Amino acid sequence: MASEVYVYLSIGSNIFPRGVYLATIRKALRERFGGIVKESSIYETTPWGFEADLPFLNQVVLVRTSKSPVEVLREVQDIERGLGRHRDEGGYSSRTADIDILLYGEERISTPELQVPHPHMLERRFVLAPLAEVDGEGVSASSGKSWRELLEACTDKGEARRTEDPAGQERAMMTSVVADGGATTAKWVSVDATGTKCRYTSRGMNPLYVDADGVEREVRNIFGDEYFRLGVGRVSFYGAACGENQRGDVLLEGLQRVFPLAEVQVDSDMVMAAIATWGHGAEVPHGGGIVAILGTGSNACYLDRGKPVYVTPSVGFLFGDEGSGAWFGKRIVRDWLYSALPKSLEEGVRTMLVKDFGESSLEEMRGMASIVERAYHGVHPSAWFSGFAKVMEPHRGEEYVSRLLAEGFGEFARFFLQPLKEKGGDEVRAVGSVAWYYRDALGAACERVGMRLGKVVKDPLGEVVGW
């Protein structure tokens, strides 16, 4: 294994949000080099060799690594590219991210792509001021003088003064993005500093069925503009299987690649449901409250002062998700395959199957192995089944649909709500399209187990962001 050396790096930015760019560079350096040994204060400095709207913010950071000089160069250039810097820019210019290798141990390197020590570092106050702070008694091999002495003798007329880190204030001026990551679709809202909101929709991103690369591809499809993505300071993603000890790290990694400057938070869809129905805790009674999700999947949890403290274990759509779109859709497809579905619903099922498999007679479709193949091996099977639940809505007054709703919500109340009632809560508030469209049947199921249905929200994201 190669021995480790100390590497001094100069980092800077003079494009808004300068402080956030510096914070993101430091974060990336920690991840790639196993930490930062030492870092200077932040200095506001005069642009060197050109005029600009904003002065630079600069720092010197010290890392320790066994990577070769060329490997270090590749790492810092990769960080720059991820932050919108392209080194084909000619001459001196404003930059989102500027990272220079000042010193690599005691080595001298002179190649077309890398010169170390940096050939101009002794001429530039924006380098010497933070370097003297980090290692004032360190000595320049070429001059024999300390960095502090070289700073005092520097003839550069540019300013370099210590300043407070503006990253926190800058984030408040950046765009925020909030997402409700359902299994079928993910809904997004961006809110800029003026309060202007925009909606976006993507395919669902359940981390049980998608990896970080898939998350990145899908999110880049809707937020493709680099300028917009670099203007996002916060991302809050709420989704299924994203709670504590689940798979939220998949979403976190993918989102951080797309929004490199943002503070990214990934949390359970239960947290968003709790905020949408109960607020931030002020409305939750002292004895606690219950929130339910009934969309593509189903779940419920008990709240204490607005925070989920007990979630009914979910066993997924293959074994459970009672009362969800996937549960109802699975029953409808099953009954259709057995020729047990009322004729009034058959046309709706046929229309959906034609969309997937092409025109055929009902008899031919019932014999198609591809339907079973789609259910077992297709992409997002729960979302596919959930689509068939929509055929119930125009026929909600018919006996078949009434019985199916009573059974599905009855099972949901039995397995999800009754265990939570024993915790002390009796009011259920719910989110999701299934809960919204069939709230009367859901309310009746709650009453049958001695509970009552309160507020029902179709679109929790809209409720949270005030759409």
For 143-168, the DSSP string reads T--BHHHHHHH----S-EEEE---HH
pLDDT at 90: 61
Q: Which two tokens stand for residue 292?
A: 């339910």
Give yes or no: 98 in active site.
yes
Catalytic residue (one of 18, 98, 135, 429): 98
DSSP line for 187-227:
EEEEE-TT--EEEEEEE---TTT--HHHHHHHHHHHS--HH
Give yes or no: 95 in active site.
yes
Q: Whole-angstrom Cα distance, residue 353 to residue 360? A: 9
Q: Whole-angstrom Cα distance, residue 238 to residue 255? A: 12
- Sequential pLDDT tens for the chain (467 residues): 578 999 999 999 999 999 999 999 999 999 999 999 999 999 999 998 888 889 999 999 999 999 999 999 999 999 999 998 877 656 678 999 999 999 999 999 999 999 999 999 999 999 999 999 999 889 998 889 999 999 999 999 999 999 999 999 999 999 999 999 877 789 999 999 889 999 999 988 888 788 899 999 999 999 988 889 999 999 999 987 787 666 788 999 999 999 999 999 999 888 899 889 988 654 555 556 899 999 888 989 888 766 777 777 777 778 888 999 999 999 998 998 888 899 898 888 888 887 777 666 556 666 666 777 778 887 778 888 888 899 898 898 899 999 999 999 999 999 999 888 887 778 899 999 999 999 999 999 999 999 999 999 998 898 888 76
Reference 460, options 324, 270, 257, 190; nearest CA is 270
Find the helix packing angle between 69-82 and 18-33, rounded to 10°. Answer: 140
DSSP line for 317-375:
HHH--TTSHHHHHHHHHHHHHTT-S-HHHHHHHHHHHHHHH-S--HHHHHT-HHHHHHH
Domains within the chain, CATH numbers bracketed: 5-167 (3.30.70.560), 174-274 (3.30.420.40), 281-459 (3.30.420.40)
Give yes or no: 85 in active site.
yes
Give yes or no: 426 in active site.
no
Q: Whole-angstrom Cα distance, residue 277 to residue 193? A: 26
| Coil, helix or strand at residue 45 | strand
DSSP count for the chain of H helices, then E strands: 20, 18
Find the helix packing angle between 343-357 and 325-337, rounded to 10°. Answer: 100
Q: Which amino acid is at 464?
A: V
Contacts of 29 (CB under 8 A, 6+ apart): 9, 11, 36, 61, 63, 79
Q: Decide if 27 contacts 19 (C-beta within 8 A).
A: no
| Coil, helix or strand at residue 428 | strand
Find the helix packing angle between 369-377 and 343-357, rounded to 10°. Answer: 70
Question: Which string of b and e fits 117-131 if b means at least 16 CB within 10 Å?
Answer: bbeebbebbbbbbbb
Q: Which two tokens stand for residue 352?
A: 């959906």
Q: Given the structure tokens 């204030």, which residue do they identify?
A: 169
Backbone phi, psi, residue 71, to 5° = -65, -40
Catalytic residue (one of 18, 100, 229, 321): 100
Catalytic residue (one of 18, 85, 124, 374): 85
Contacts of 406 (CB under 8 A, 6+ apart): 441, 444, 445
Q: Decide if 209 contacts 75 (C-beta within 8 A).
A: no
Q: Whole-angstrom Cα distance, residue 86 to residue 210? A: 31
Q: Which two tokens stand for residue 154?
A: 């520097």
Residue 334 CB neighbours (<10 A):
13
125 has which bridge partners? none
Q: Whole-angstrom Cα distance, residue 77 to residue 278? A: 47
What is the pTM assigned to this prediction? 0.76
The CA-to-CA distance between both ends of the chain, in Å, stands at 56
